[in-house]
Each structure stands twice: as structure tokens, then as C-alpha cells.
């Protein structure tokens, strides 16, 4: 059984969906730890409820991003982690993590990449007035929201949609699409 670490920075609805997908046998791997860079993130509560060991890393406590990532890698190696699942992790993955986990880090982004990369993919698509956006799951490389695409699913933006209703639709798609795609991604590990 492959061992996964989930990285998250905030609410963690995708974290919970992944944990549930493991329980349901949709993802045939174990979630061995949560790595989080924000102390107050709600995802810590979710990890506690799910019985997943959680680690907080404060980048300010390190001299460089390299040192910060080295500290994370030390935990991952100690736990025998095979692959990393980013679920709302708000930092760009640096060269240290990429070197230790080449093609073994997967990300979910709330737009149809290459459209609307960056921190606010849902808002950017909504404000651009496009009639379609969606969700992309991709392998992480050195770019921001670049890297080989594993799966995409689109969603219409209807006239009556608000930013909130669009967010809700996107998250629903994410929770389903990410679990199925993570199961396929396990072949890379």
C-alpha cells in the first residue's frame, strides 16, 4: 500500500474528501500525515477528527525555503511517504521537495488550466465573465500551476451564478474528481 502525505493551508474540504475516499476504497493508499503551514487552519481540526497525524511547519522559523522544505522532507522520509497530494496548499513547491519527489506530487486547481492559474482561479474566471470554467488535476513541476494534466472537468457559469454558487459547484466537482485521479496517480509512485 502506497503512503501519501496531504499538504493543505486552509479549510481542508478536499482533505476530508480524500480521507473519505480512502475509507470507501476509491483510493487504495493510506494517508499517513497532514503537512500544514498555517497554525490556525481548520484542516487541523479535520485531521484530528480523522485520526491523521498532523505537522505544522512555520516557514518563518527557517533561514530559507530550502531549509523549510528540508525539514518537511525529513518528516516525510521518516514516515516512508511515497507521494504528496496538495489540497489547498498555498505555497509554491520549491526545488527541494521536487528533487525528493519528482513527478510524485499532485495538485488540484480550481480552473481549466492553462486558464486562470494562481491563487484565485475561481474569482478570476468569474470576474472574466467566461461561460465555462472547471477543475484541473496535474502533476507538479517547477512552474506555478503548470505540469502534466491528469484530469479536467468543466462547469458552466450560468447567468444566475454568484461567486458563492460557483465556488460550491467547483468544490463538489473537486471532491469527486480528485479522489478518482489520485487513485490513477498512484501508478506514478
Residue 13 within binding range of ligand GRF, rule CB under 6 A: yes
**Which span sits near ligand GRF by CB under 6 A: 7-15, 55-63, 153-161, 181-189?**
7-15
**Which span sits near ligand GRF by CB under 6 A: 6-14, 49-57, 94-102, 124-132?**
6-14
CB of 66 to ligand GRF, least distance (A): 23
Residue 138 annotated among the catalytic residues of the structure: no
- Among 5, 12, 133, 150, the residue binding ligand GRF under the rule CB under 6 A is 12
Are 126 and 160 in contact, with CB atoms under 8 Å apart? no
The residue length of the chain stands at: 189
Residue closer to ligand GRF, measured from CB, 29 or 36: 36
Task: List the interface residues with ligand GRF, window 41-100 (CB under 6 A).
Answer: 87-88
Cα 131 to chain center, whole Å? Answer: 25
Other CB atoms within 10 A of residue 85 CB: 25
CB of 33 to ligand GRF, least distance (A): 16
Are 85 and 104 in contact, with CB atoms under 8 Å apart? no
- Encode 114-147: b = buried (16+ Cβ within 10 Å), e = exposed: eebeeeebbbbbbeeeeeebbbbbbbbbeeebeb
Catalytic residue among 109, 138, 171, 175: 109
By CB under 6 A, the count of residues binding ligand GRF is 13
Angle of the 13-23 helix axis to the 43-50 helix axis, nearest 10: 20
Q: Catalytic site residues?
A: 109
Residues that bind ligand GRF (CB under 6 A): 8, 10-15, 87-88, 108-110, 174
Amino acid at each position: 500500500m502506497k503512503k501519501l502525505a496531504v499538504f493543505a493551508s486552509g479549510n481542508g474540504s478536499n482533505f476530508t474528501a480524500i480521507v473519505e475516499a480512502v475509507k470507501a476504497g476509491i483510493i487504495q493508499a493510506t494517508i499517513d500525515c497532514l503537512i500544514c503551514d498555517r497554525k490556525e487552519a481548520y484542516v487541523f481540526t479535520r485531521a484530528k477528527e480523522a485520526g491523521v497525524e498532523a505537522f505544522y511547519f512555520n516557514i518563518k522559523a527557517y533561514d530559507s525555503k530550502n531549509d523549510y522544505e528540508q525539514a518537511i522532507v525529513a518528516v516525510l522520509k521518516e514516515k516512508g511517504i511515497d507521494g504528496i497530494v496538495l489540497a489547498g496548499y498555498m505555497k509554491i513547491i520549491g526545488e527541494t521537495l521536487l528533487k525528493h519527489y519528482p513527478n510524485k506530487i499532485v495538485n488540484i486547481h480550481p480552473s481549466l488550466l492553462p486558464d486562470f492559474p494562481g491563487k484565485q482561479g475561481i474569482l478570476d474566471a468569474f470576474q472574466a465573465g467566461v461561460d465555462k470554467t472547471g477543475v484541473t488535476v496535474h502533476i507538479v513541476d517547477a512552474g506555478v500551476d503548470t505540469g502534466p494534466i491528469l484530469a479536467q472537468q468543466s462547469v458552466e457559469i450560468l447567468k444566475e451564478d454568484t461567486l458563492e454558487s460557483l465556488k460550491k459547484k467547483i468544490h463538489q466537482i473537486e471532491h469527486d474528481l480528485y479522489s478518482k485521479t489520485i487513485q490513477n496517480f498512484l501508478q506514478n509512485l
